[in-house]
Amino acid sequence: MNSTQTIVYSRVIKGLGCIQLRPLDMDTDITVIHDWVNKPYAKYWGMQDTSLAYVKEQYQEIEDNPYHDTFIGVLNDTPIFLMERYKASQDLIAQYYDAQDGDYGMHILVGPPDNYIPKFTWHVFTTIMFFLFDNKTTQRVVVEPDINNQKIHLLNTKAGFVYQKEIKLPHKTAHLAFCTSENFAKAFDKAQTI
């Protein structure tokens, strides 16, 4: 196993298995990411009809940025999602609100499942949230989803995000929302009882 295959977080989910996160391996993961971002459901990712070289260039820029990280989520040795984490105070988003030092943003893209798995996206999303808050420097998670992405708005709200305002980013009109570890814990507990 090379250094980029190091597992940085894992979570066992009853009935599903163990979801693990590891840093992006540009050599082995970029073709999978290229496939995902070109799927119709990934339109909000903004990379439809792009070449492998373009996607690789974009992720190389992320990897070269000291305030951004990219992770691959794996289930049973199969990549199932992509997650980007960034320090909000060092990102464009800081121009749209009073960014705090403990604010971290994230973007998530779930890969197309081979077959239907109940609550699959919820399990992926909550694993990411647990991972983000496992880092004690993370005080809030910041998201800025496209205003038209109804699926992610439902998921964000279910996970405890509080929507603050609409913002006009250079590439999209988005909702700005925040989630603290306390809000996530309450939302997670509530979801477990449903």
pLDDT tens per residue, range 21-77: 999 999 999 999 999 999 998 999 989 999 999 999 999 999 999 999 999 999 988
8 A C-beta contact, residue 69 and residue 107: no
Residues 6+ apart with CB under 8 A from 166: 147, 173, 174, 175, 176
8 A C-beta contact, residue 103 and residue 139: yes
Instruction: Identify which of 64, 168, 185 has the alpha carbon closest to the alpha carbon of residue 132.
Output: 185
Domain around 94: 3-193
Residues in the chain: 194
| Total number of domains constituting the chain | 1
What's the one-letter identity of residue 106? M
pLDDT computed for residue 85 by the predictor? 97
- Please state, in angstroms and rounded to a whole number, the distance separating the CA atoms of residues 89 and 142: 11
User: CATH number for the domain including 120?
Assistant: 3.40.630.30
103-110/140-143 β-pairing: parallel
- With pLDDT > 90 as the criterion, what percentage of the chain qualifies? 89
- Please state, in angstroms and rounded to a whole number, the distance separating the CA atoms of residues 34 and 24: 13
pLDDT computed for residue 191 by the predictor? 93
78-87/17-23 β-pairing: unpaired
Residues 6+ apart with CB under 8 A from 187: 158, 159, 160
> Cα separations (Å) of 114 from 18, 42, 79, 111?
17, 16, 11, 9
Tokens of 176: 């700005």
Residues 165-181 have a mean pLDDT of 96
Mean pLDDT computed over every residue of the chain? 94
Q: Is 146 helix (H, G, I), strand (E, B) or coil?
A: strand
What's the one-letter identity of residue 178? F
Residues 129-141 have a mean pLDDT of 97
pLDDT computed for residue 113 by the predictor? 79
